[in-house]
Structure 1
Amino acid sequence: MQTELKFEQWPIKKVTPYANNPRKNDHAVEQVARSITEYGFRQPIVVDEHGVIVDDHTRWKAANKLKLKEVPVHVAKDLTEA
């Protein structure tokens, strides 16, 4: 069964980083910011129902660097702690 992914535009202030994000890739933020400037968002930031980032902190950091007011998100529902 194929599920349709839904995207929404959210205020960037509503999206928050996951406190225990294990990836340390600040070195990539500048390159991602250039890509967003040139091509736009080609993939949304994945968040849980509370706006906490599940996937793509780097894209979120790049959007902040660019001072974007809104970002595309996909809200992943029914997640568990695992």
Structure 2
Amino acid sequence: MARRYELFIMPACPYCQKVLRFMERCSIEMPLRDITCDPDAREELVRAGGKPQVPCLFIDGVPLYESDDIIARLSKGFEN
């Protein structure tokens, strides 16, 4: 069964940019939620993750924080 991925970001965040650059280099696409222009995304991030910290990768609704951890997880592929 395919997992559901969603990345919460703020464009001005350097850590978000780090993850986005990695995704671009690796041709990884997934839904992006910009919490600066989407108040519903910010609310969802806080409700599900407990804090408005970005970048935050949700994998089947489970939050993963920290750019290095997100990149490491994305490096493993999408089936794990």
Query: TM-score w.r.t. structure 1 length?
Result: 0.28
Rg (Cα) greater in structure: 1
Looking at both structures, which has the greater relative contact order when contacts are Cα pairs under 8 Å and sequence separation is at least 6?
Answer: 1
Structure with greater helix percent: 2
